[in-house]
Chain A
């Protein structure tokens, strides 16, 4: 072993577990023959003693109790906040789920009602729209069905029920409110474009839409007023 090697690995050869026995013996032999390296080893051993004494002074050192107190306080704060946040998240999800459920139930009910309404007017469902042009008077355009029901026998018909309130009607040209004493309300389905025949404004884009309309029909069978039920 050379002096350089001894300085690198020999000074602490007895402690270094990564050295082989051969290297340890070589280090020992070198120290016994080289006075310079032996002096170096002595010097290091003296330094080692002083280092150990220094280590002993700090061997029992511990972090002050205030560190533990601060950490525990922080721990509590953090976990209380975390719990509150978790509760808020759970509550938010529960509310969202309830809203979705309520929405789904009301949509289902609405669909059910819609289907029931369709089934309740079988003639309208049976006849194709092109053939449904001819129910009413010379004023009307293509009216979809004769499913209009008189108020008096609405229960018997069991189909579409017209609102018996006279409000909301728009009087057609030549008709007067005073003449409506014996008039009756008929609810019909018709294409929106047919409203033009009553002098009402119609959007061209939606002229083909099928809508329900209440007609106030006089004794002579002619419509005197019209309204769009809600």
Chain B
């Protein structure tokens, strides 16, 4: 049976719980990109992001009753699950050695930088984005989460607070401190090449 694209998430989830594979697939396609982007931006690792997305939807598949439609949208619930997985991943991270294969463009992150300018500009942009990415990934997890949700996912403070499960004031203060750290890091990254080139 064909399922209407606009079918509500909770309806689809009920059908999926009864064994409707098409409903489950539709749910997955609706939400996977947002989950993957969030995980990728938080971990900076494509393998980890893939694993996290898989875990999130496995949880939904195995225990669909965990989601309570009266408490909010399915997207928010999935974000919550993804966030827990990301935090667990980040806690484990120092003990793990990354075996990640470098991408063709050398970013090694699973994040493919796309641009179509002259080779020199392309190189410069790539360098700058690598620096931004490194600066974001070096932030402590809570500050990084606030920056990812508010700056990269472009959520409002209220939405971000809801996702992170904390008051709006906490998000604002985390974002403030995250920004301060990020600016300091970016300034430092900018200065290092300058000093290096001045030293020559």
Taking Cβ atoms with an 8 Å cutoff, the residues of A that contact B are 7-9, 11-12, 16-18, 43-44, 47-48, 50-55, 57-59, 61-64, 67-68, 70-72, 74-76, 78-79, 82-83
User: What CA separation (Å) do A17 and B172 show in the bound complex?
Assistant: 12
A9→B37 contact, CB < 8 A: no
Known A51-B147, A63-B32, A63-B33; 20 more pairs at CB < 8 Å? A8-B172, A8-B173, A16-B157, A18-B168, A50-B132, A51-B132, A53-B129, A58-B40, A58-B41, A59-B37, A63-B35, A63-B36, A63-B49, A67-B32, A67-B50, A68-B25, A74-B61, A75-B16, A78-B61, A78-B62
Dominant secondary structure of chain A at its interface with chain B: helix
What number of residue pairs across chains A and B have CB atoms under 8 A from each other? 113
Chain B residues within an 8 Å CB radius of A67: 32, 50, 53-54, 57
Which residues of the partner chain B approach A53 to less than 8 Å between Cβ atoms? Answer: 125, 128-129, 132
Nearest A residue to B129 via CB reads A54
Q: Provide a sorted-by-A list of 9 A–B residue pairs whose CB atoms are within 8 angstroms.
A: A18-B157, A47-B183, A47-B186, A50-B128, A52-B151, A53-B125, A53-B132, A76-B21, A78-B62
Q: A47-B182, A74-B58 are in contact. Are A54 and B136 (CB under 8 A)?
A: yes
**Contact A58 B37, beta carbon cutoff 8 Å:** yes
Q: Give the distance to chain A from B1, nearest Cβ to Cβ, in Å.
A: 16
Contact of B187 with A by CB under 8 A: yes
Q: Tell me if B152 counts as interface (CB < 8 A to partner A).
A: yes
Q: Enumerate chain B interface residues (CB-CB to A < 8 A).
A: 16, 19, 21, 24-25, 28-29, 32-33, 35-37, 40-41, 49-50, 53-54, 57-58, 61-62, 111-114, 125, 128-129, 132-133, 136, 147, 151-154, 156-158, 168, 172-173, 175-176, 179-180, 182-183, 186-187
Contact B151 A51 (CB under 8 A): yes
A126 to B34, CA, bound (A): 89
Say yes or no: A50-B35 contact (C-beta < 8 A), given A18-B158, A55-B152: no
- CB <8 Å contact, A61 and B128: no
Residues of chain A contacted by B172 (CB below 8 angstroms): 8-9, 16, 18
Q: Would you call B54 and A70 a contact (CB within 8 A)?
A: yes
Contact of A54 among B133, B157, B158 (CB under 8 A): B133
Supposing A67-B53, A71-B58 touch, asked if A54 and B176 sit within 8 A by C-beta, the answer is no
Set of chain B residues within 8 Å of A43, measured between Cβ atoms: 183, 187
Q: List the A side residues contacting B179 at CB < 8 Å.
A: 11, 44, 47
Distance to closest chain B CB from A8 (angstroms): 5
Residues of chain A within 8 A of B175, CB atoms compared: 12
